[in-house]
């Protein structure tokens, strides 16, 4: 059995939404997936059912603005994770400080997580610099983590260039990781292109990664998502997944990724801001792994209250 959980948040401050996800079992029956989500403003709680049938929290997220003046905004986000019995396992806190400028911004994100003694300890620092010039936005992020002696060292970085136009946008992002000699090596490159045409939006995401036999980047994965909006407010999202070795067989460097799956999401708005979302999927056929089988409905997500898709 396969199911997906859609996180839906309230669209207005203090407005509440409740989300429940249902799956289809092997006999085609609709069954509750077990988890539900309650969102109120910047707070979000994922609730599950323990072995005794009692509803207990699985994860709680609180987000609040602690300071905002002039060009500076400080946001504090706390995430608490619980085990299946509802006992607190870990807490993570992020302090996000953003300073805006006419041509960009600087964002410092400091992350604290609980150690073995339950005390919050600084675990990561991330600095993101953004510069805008016309339709082009350049972004560079550097991630620092503590070393064995407690000092912080840069271990990862990302560089992205985004160009927008009336018909869409294109983003080219490269990921780097610190090597043993102190320099950086490219670990992945992601190219995302969005095109708008009438009531249809197509987003193509291509991932390039180094193969084990070469440091040269190769196209390994590609997703194509097409969203069609209808006059009644409903929409359909078809996502095609392509991969270079989705069936477990190694492919040569010249082969293009092959279609390995397809999801179709139907979103229908209801009264009072509610949303019903159904997910159907196509997987490789049991008789021929090179072909996709029929489209099968696997889950339904119902959000009541003031709902909007969490992007």
CATH code: domain of residue 303: 2.40.160
- Give the structural domain span for 138: 45-309
**Least confident residue range of 49-53, 63-67, 302-306:** 49-53
> Which residue's structure tokens are 């300073």?
99
Q: What is the pLDDT of residue 288?
A: 77
**Phi, psi at residue 180, to the nearest 5°?**
-65, -25
10-14, 22-26, 160-164: which is most confident? 160-164
* Cβ 306 vs Cβ 12: under 8 Å: yes
Residue 229 belongs to some domain of the structure: yes
How far, CA to CA in Å, does 93 sit from each of 58, 60, 112, 244, 302? 17, 12, 5, 38, 30
**pLDDT value for 258:** 83
Query: Which are the contacts of 282, defined by CB distance < 8 A and separation ≥ 6?
Result: 261, 262, 263, 264, 292, 293, 294, 295, 296
pLDDT in tens, 171-218: 999 999 999 888 999 999 999 999 999 999 999 999 999 876 667 888
pTM of the complete model: 0.82
Asked if residue 164 has pLDDT above 80, the reply is yes
Residue 129 is encoded by which pair of tokens?
């610099």
pLDDT higher than threshold 60 for residue 26: yes
Residue 9 lies in a domain: no
**For the ranges 18-22, 28-32, 233-237, which has the lowest average pLDDT?**
28-32
30 is a domain residue: no
pLDDT at 126 over 80: yes
Considering the domain boundaries, does residue 28 fall inside one? no
Is residue 31 assigned to a domain? no
Q: How many domains does the chain have?
A: 1
- pLDDT higher at 60 or 306: 60
Residue 26 is assigned to a structural domain of this protein:
no
Alpha carbon separation from 97 to 62, 94, 233, 242, 249 (Å, rounded): 16, 10, 36, 38, 46
User: Residue 254: which pLDDT band, with cuts at 50, 70 and 90?
Assistant: low
* Residue 254 neighbours by CB under 8 Å, 6+ apart: none
In a domain, 274, yes or no: yes
**Residue 19 counted as domain residue:** no
Confidence of residue 298 (pLDDT cuts 50, 70, 90): confident
Average pLDDT over residues 55-72: 94
Minimum mean pLDDT range among 96-100, 157-161, 255-259: 255-259
């Amino acid at each position: 059995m396969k199911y997906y959980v859609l996180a839906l948040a309230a669209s207005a401050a203090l407005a509440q939404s409740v989300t429940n996800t249902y799956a289809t079992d092997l006999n085609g029956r609709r069954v509750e997936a077990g988890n539900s989500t309650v969102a109120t403003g910047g707070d979000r709680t994922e609730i599950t059912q323990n072995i005794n049938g009692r509803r207990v929290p699985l994860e709680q997220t609180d987000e609040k603005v602690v300071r905002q003046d002039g060009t500076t905004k400080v946001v504090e986000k706390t995430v608490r994770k619980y085990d299946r019995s509802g006992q607190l396992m870990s807490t993570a806190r992020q302090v996000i400080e953003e300073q805006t400028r006419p041509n960009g911004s600087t964002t410092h994100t400091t992350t604290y997580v609980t150690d073995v003694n339950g005390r919050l300890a600084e675990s990561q620092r991330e600095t993101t610099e953004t510069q805008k010039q016309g339709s082009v936005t350049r972004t560079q992020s550097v991630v620092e983590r503590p070393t064995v002696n407690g000092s912080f060292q840069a271990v990862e970085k990302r560089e992205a260039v985004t160009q927008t136009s009336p018909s869409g946008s294109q983003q080219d992002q490269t990921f780097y990781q610190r090597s043993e000699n102190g320099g950086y090596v490219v670990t992945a490159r992601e190219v995302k292109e969005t095109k708008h045409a009438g009531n249809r939006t197509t987003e193509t995401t291509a991932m390039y990664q180094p193969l084990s036999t070469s440091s040269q980047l190769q196209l390994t994965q590609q997703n194509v998502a097409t969203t069609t909006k209808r006059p009644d407010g409903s929409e359909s999202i078809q996502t095609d997944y392509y991969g270079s070795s989705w069936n477990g067989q190694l492919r040569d460097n010249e082969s293009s990724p092959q279609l390995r799956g397809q999801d179709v999401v139907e979103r229908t708005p209801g009264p009072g801001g509610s949303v019903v979302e159904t997910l159907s999927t196509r997987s490789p056929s049991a008789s021929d792994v090179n072909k996709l089988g029929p489209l099968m409905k696997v889950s339904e997500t119902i959000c009541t209250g003031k709902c909007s898709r969490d992007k």
